[in-house]
Amino acid sequence: MSGAAFVTLIAASSGLFAIGLFGLLLRRTVILQLVSLELMLAAGGFAFVVAGARHGGAEGQGMFVLVLTVAAAEAAVALVLFLRLRALADSADSDAFDRLRG
């Protein structure tokens, strides 16, 4: 893979990460925060794949599979937590869960 393409793709990955980060910070709905989180993880995995393609070898794709697995597990746990929190606080607003303040 050529250097220019590599840089472009890494930039794209960073852009995805940034979109995910801002989405996480600016979104108040927990579901959408989880979506943004998935986006950040995907971006990271994308960067791994691109790097792997650059250097040849299967490590990149292997890391991607790892990332995917982690994302899946984390999504499952997160969704359960979200359901519990929503039941407790009757709201899907992330800002409503602030009892650990002070």
Partner 1 sequence: MAEALLALIPAPALIGFALLLGWPAPLSARMEGRLGAAAAGGSAALALGLAAWLFATGSGAIRVEVAPFVVTGGLEAMLALRFDALSAVASGTVGVVGVLVVLYAAEFMPREGETRLRRLFALLSLFLAGMFAVVLADDLVALFLGWEIVGLCSYFLIGWRSREAAAADAARQAFVVTRIGDALLLAGIAALFARFGTTSLPELFGAVEGAWRGGATLAAGAIGALVLAGALAKSAQVPFHVWLPDAMAGPTPVSALLHAATMVAAGAFLLARLAPLTEAAPGIGAATAWLGLAGALGAGLAALAQRDVKRLLAWSTVSQIGFMFLALGAGAPGAAMAHFVTHAAFKAALFLAAGLVSREAGHERRLDRLGGARRRGPLGFWVFAAAALALGGAPWVTAGFWSKELVLAGALGAGPLGPALWAGAVAASAVTAAYAGRAALALARGGAPREGATDGPGAAEAAAVLVLAALALGLGPAAGPVAEAVGGAATPHLGAAAAGIGVAAPLAGFSAALLAEAGWAPRAPRLAAAARGGFGVDAIRGAVAGGFGRMVHAVSGDPLARGMHALAGGVPRLAATFASGAADGAGPRAPGGPEAWRRRGAERLARFARAPGDDLLDRLWRGVAAGAAGMGRMAGRAQGGRLRGYLAGSAIGAALLLLLGWAAA
DSSP code string of 57-99: SSHHHHHHHHHHHHHHHHHHHHHHHHHHHHHHHS--BGGG--T
**Is 55 a binder of partner 1 (CB under 8 A)?**
no
**Is 95 a binder of partner 1 (CB under 8 A)?**
yes
**Is 101 a binder of partner 1 (CB under 8 A)?**
yes
Strand partners, 93: 29
Handedness of CA 25, 27, 28, 32 (dihedral sign): negative
Among 21, 31, 32, 92, binds partner 1 (CB under 8 A): 21
Among 24, 31, 49, 75, binds partner 1 (CB under 8 A): 24
Residue 29 three-state SS: strand
**Is 32 a binder of partner 1 (CB under 8 A)?**
no
Chain residues that interact with partner 1, rule: CB under 8 A: 21, 24-25, 28, 33, 94-95, 97-102
